[in-house]
A = this chain, B = another copy of it.
Amino acid sequence: MSEKKIKNVFVEGAITPLKIADAIAHHQIKTNIGAHDIFLGQVRADEINGKIVKAIDYSAYEEMANKVFDEIREAAFEKYDLTCAHIYHSKGIVKAGELCLFVFTSSKHRAMAFDATRYITEEIKAKAPIFGKEIFEDETHTWKVNK
């Protein structure tokens, strides 16, 4: 088996707007890119049985999740003509209003970036072993389940 280095997708806590700006800025030297599409997941202050979610505490089977993210990224490169594809996901506490997922694809033309970011996002929701404890304002909790 090849000794491929698997990237670590996980970021401790919320993903900051500045991290996103930084990622965008790093692509301005790639002058063959014409289009970027960015998906951001944000934690909602959902009301569940009369209680308000104030944060999600994310945990993951990290070794497996990083492999799954790597496979998703590889599959995206095979399906779409991309220049770049980056994925970041939070672990630990992310408060309502903060960002927990950052998917960023770049391509020469827009259609590929649109398709790829959507594909990657759907794949993450379905396949990445990440778990979310929704913490209410009264410190009780429930477990989030992706639809």
Contacts and interface: CB of A to CB of B under 8 A. Distances in A.
A121 interface: yes
Contacts of A108: 44
Given A97-B30, A97-B31, A121-B110, A40 B24 contact: yes
Contact of A42 (B34, B41, B96): B34
Interface of A: 17-18, 20-22, 24-25, 27-45, 96-99, 106, 108, 110, 113-114, 117-118, 121
24 contacts: A17-B20, A17-B21, A17-B25, A18-B21, A20-B24, A21-B21, A24-B99, A27-B42, A28-B42, A28-B97, A28-B98, A31-B44, A32-B44, A32-B45, A33-B97, A34-B44, A35-B41, A36-B40, A37-B39, A38-B38, A39-B114, A44-B108, A114-B117, A114-B118
